[in-house]
Amino acid sequence: MLTLAILGFLYDRPMHGYELKSRITALTGHVRPVSDGALYPAIARLEKAGMLHRHTEPGSGAAPRQTLEPTPAGRAELLRRLADPEQSEITDQIRFFTVTAFLHHLADPSRQAAVLRRRLAFLDAPSSFFHDGAGLPVTAEREPNPFRRGMLLVARASTAAERAWLTGTVAELERPGGAEPAESPAHGGNPGPRNARPTR
């Protein structure tokens, strides 16, 4: 997820490490904090792999700034990962929102729709935070514990909202001509709710 976020934000535009960390923190950091100890080694690995390029720009003070941007190989890797996300990037809500934050970079609306359809298929599978003695998912109506019931009700509402958005967006993408390019969420913060795996 960190690699995807690094390549995605830098695909939007070159930036230095501190700004990149701020963007990633705004996207996922409230749930999964991004430490310097994770970010900068990841940047170094991508540089070593030939996916990032670092160049020096004059700073506002005396010290110059190191600015990062993806190489052609880095851009190609981002597009590959967006077109064919790993299953964990479909089933994990935070990972999926990281994918959707940059999905506009795929030029083909049908490939964008295919990714969203995978998420829809996952949401349509029965699931719950809790299961009964027979191993069946527990619904809010069957849960006597008010706190667990609240979890299930909130998750149900979140899932319904996400399913409605996915269904509408897939239909829009599959219309002749596809969808109009959306404004990049890279600089705008949250892409959606940050709860754990939705349940019905």
CA atoms of 72 and 51, how far apart (whole Å): 7
* pLDDT tens, position by position, 154-169: 989 999 999 999 999 9
Tell me, what's the pLDDT at 53? 94
Rounded to two decimals, what is the model's pTM?
0.79
Average confidence (pLDDT) over 162-188 = 74
* pLDDT tens, position by position, 21-52: 999 988 887 777 788 888 999 999 999 999 99
CA atoms of 56 and 58, how far apart (whole Å): 7
Tell me, what's the pLDDT at 180? 55
Distances in Å between the Cα of 138 and the Cα atoms of 91, 134, 147, 174, 195 are 19, 10, 14, 35, 18
Give 181 or 134, the one with higher predicted confidence: 134
Average confidence (pLDDT) over 177-193 = 47
Where does the pLDDT of residue 200 fall: very low under 50, low under 70, confident under 90, or very high at 90 and above?
very low
Give 37 or 179, the one with higher predicted confidence: 37
Other beta carbons within 10 angstroms of residue 131's beta carbon come to 11
CA atoms of 79 and 29, how far apart (whole Å): 23
Average confidence (pLDDT) over 55-68 = 76
Tell me, what's the pLDDT at 59? 62
Tell me, what's the pLDDT at 195? 39
* pLDDT tens, position by position, 119-131: 999 998 877 788 8
Tell me, what's the pLDDT at 186? 41
Average confidence (pLDDT) over 139-148 = 86
Tell me, what's the pLDDT at 64? 75
Regarding beta strands 52-57 and 65-70, do their DSSP bridges make them parallel or antiparallel, or are they unpaired?
Answer: antiparallel
Tell me, what's the pLDDT at 66? 85
Tell me, what's the pLDDT at 1? 86
CA atoms of 26 and 50, how far apart (whole Å): 27
Tell me, what's the pLDDT at 62? 61
* pLDDT tens, position by position, 69-113: 999 999 999 999 999 999 999 999 989 999 999 999 999 999 999
